[in-house]
A = this chain, B = another copy of it.
Amino acid sequence: MFTDLSPKYHPLTVETVPAYVRSRPELSSIFRSDDDIESVEVGDGNLNLVFKVWAKADPERTVVLKQALPYLRLVGDSWPLPTDRARIEAAALEAESRLCPQHTPKVYFYDPDLYLIAMQNLNHHIIMRKGLIQGIKYPLFAEHIGLFLARTLAYTSDLVLDFRTKKLEVMRFTNPELCKITEDLVFTEPYRKTERNRFHPEIEPQVLALQADDSLRVQVAQMKEKFMTHAQALIHGDLHTGSIMINQTETYAIDPEFAFYGPMGFDVGAVIGNLFLSYASHEVRTKDPDARADFRKYLTDTVLQLWKVFEREFSKVWADVDSINMPKGYQEDYMLRVLQDSAGLGACKMMRRVIGLAGVEDIRGIENVTDRSIAASLALNIGQALIMNRREIRTIEELVEVATGCRPSYPWKA
């Protein structure tokens, strides 16, 4: 953010990776000097190069190298992005690892010259979004992510940190350019006519009606203000199901390059919102009614359970605060506000995935146009219901009821 590009910066390639990893003493326990080292570039994001690297003799001896590019890959070098985000990501991973090591990838080192993080290769895990699209259930996910959210959010807030540490952490995690991406793509562009929106033409009537809805834009503006001004905790900042690596026994939150001090509900809402995006997609992805109901019950049970785990783990912090100045009534009010923020902020994350530049495969990946329109329409209706009703929501059960009470508006009634 504050410095020019390091003079030593150069993007790695599969040709230069082997020499680089051999040069790093932090990896000497993984790679031997005579190892034949192979790598492949797998970055499917928009901001970075990602290399999977392994010893040819033993693919289990492996690391991932994630290197920041100085521009937003999706739109080419017309959108410069500061490489300082790699420092932020490394620092966020360090904080998450300290607070919740079981759900944070191990970091071997951060190279400030190459803006590169060397970390654990989660090669026995898949991106959760891809699993959910296939209808795979992850029975431990709610327990894992509820713990991750509670530990990383509660323990970076004023409820735990002393007054000075908290404020210095806010400075250290100041992340203007990445926040700006969220401000634009999540809170601004979906609610107006812009060239970067990418909804498909079939749902245009619903999008135009939503953009014309003044009362909705008032609520979205409140959520944007909260995102920009509420320095509540160190949030991951991009905790959708594409940032989660998972299998039947383990869950890892990856890619916290959007981390900054923001509202807790933005992370909790990202998880919940993405589960409801999956819910909306299975309206058409799973044709058999029983199978659909079964998978959807898994999704809504997951929402219910992750919140209960979050509350349970968060309550360990409440047990240690001074109850004279923070009486029980305040603690309950605090958690209720996190819940309502999660509804409103998660709703914004849902709606932008249908209307805005960056979609999700759950919905945009549906090939049949009618099916895709049905799922997109339902996702928009769930988002709209959550944000408009958030102040009336008092329990996680009520949040789920608001969402599951929605139906797609497509095909349009005559």
- Residue ranges of A at the interface with B (Cβ–Cβ < 8 Å): 158, 163-164, 166-168, 170-171, 174-177, 179-180, 183, 187-188, 191-192, 214-215, 217-218, 220-222, 224-225, 228-232, 324-330, 333-334
Contacts of A221 in B (CB 8 A): 325-327, 330
Determine whether the beta carbon of A324 is less than 8 Å from that of B222.
no
The answer to whether B231 touches A324 (Cβ under 8 A) is no
Knowing A230-B230, A325-B221, A327-B218, the reply to whether A177 touches B164 (Cβ < 8 A) is: yes
CB distance from A224 to the nearest CB of B (A): 8
9 of the cross-chain contacts (CB-CB < 8 Å) are A158-B225, A164-B180, A168-B174, A192-B324, A192-B325, A214-B329, A217-B325, A218-B327, A221-B330
Using A221-B327, A327-B218 as known contacts, say yes or no to A229 and B228 having CB atoms under 8 A apart: no
A179 with B167: CB separation less than 8 A: yes
Q: State which of B158, B217, B330 has its C-beta within 8 Å of the C-beta of A324.
A: B217
Query: Which of B167, B214, B232, B326 is A174 in contact with, Cβ under 8 Å?
Result: B167
B192 touches A327 (CB 8 A): no
Complex: how many Å from CA A171 to CA B327? 31
B164–A176 CB distance below 8 A? yes
Q: Kindly state the separation between the CA atoms of A182 and B224 in the bound complex, as whole angstroms.
A: 28
What is the CA–CA distance of A195 and B183 in the complex, to the nearest angstrom? 46
Q: Besides A214-B327, A217-B325, 7 other CB < 8 A contacts?
A: A164-B180, A170-B174, A171-B174, A217-B324, A220-B325, A222-B330, A229-B231
Chain B minimum-CB-distance residue to A332 = B218
In the complex with contacts A229-B158, A230-B230, A327-B167 CB distance below 8 A: no
CA distance A164 to B179 in the complex (A): 9
| Chain B contacts for A174, CB-based, 8 A | 167-168, 170-171
Bound-complex Cα distance A180 to B162 (A): 10
Once the chains are docked, how many angstroms separate the CA of A404 from the CA of B231? 35
Is A218 a contact partner of B164 (Cβ separation < 8 A)? Answer: no
On whether A167 and B158 interact (CB within 8 A), knowing A324-B191, A330-B222, A333-B218, the answer reads no
Q: Give Cα A171 to B187, complex, Å.
A: 24
Residue contact A176 to B167, C-beta cutoff 8 Å? yes
A220: chain B residues at CB < 8 Å are 325
* Given A163-B179, A164-B177, A215 contacting B329 (CB threshold 8 A): yes
Q: A217 and B333 in contact (CB under 8 A), knowing A174-B171, A228-B158?
A: no
In the complex, what's the smallest C-beta–C-beta distance from A338 to chain B, in angstroms? 12
Q: Which residue of B is nearest A329, CB measured?
A: B218
Closest CB in chain B relative to A283 CB, distance in Å: 30
Least Cβ–Cβ distance between A177 and chain B, in angstroms: 7
Contact B176 A217 (CB under 8 A): no
Q: Which residue of B lies closest to A167 (CB)?
A: B176
> Nearest chain B CB to A4's CB is how many angstroms away?
16
Q: How far is the CA of A224 from the CA of B232 in the complex (A)?
A: 12
Q: Which 7 A-B pairs have the closest CB atoms?
A: A221-B330, A218-B329, A164-B176, A167-B176, A218-B330, A163-B180, A192-B324
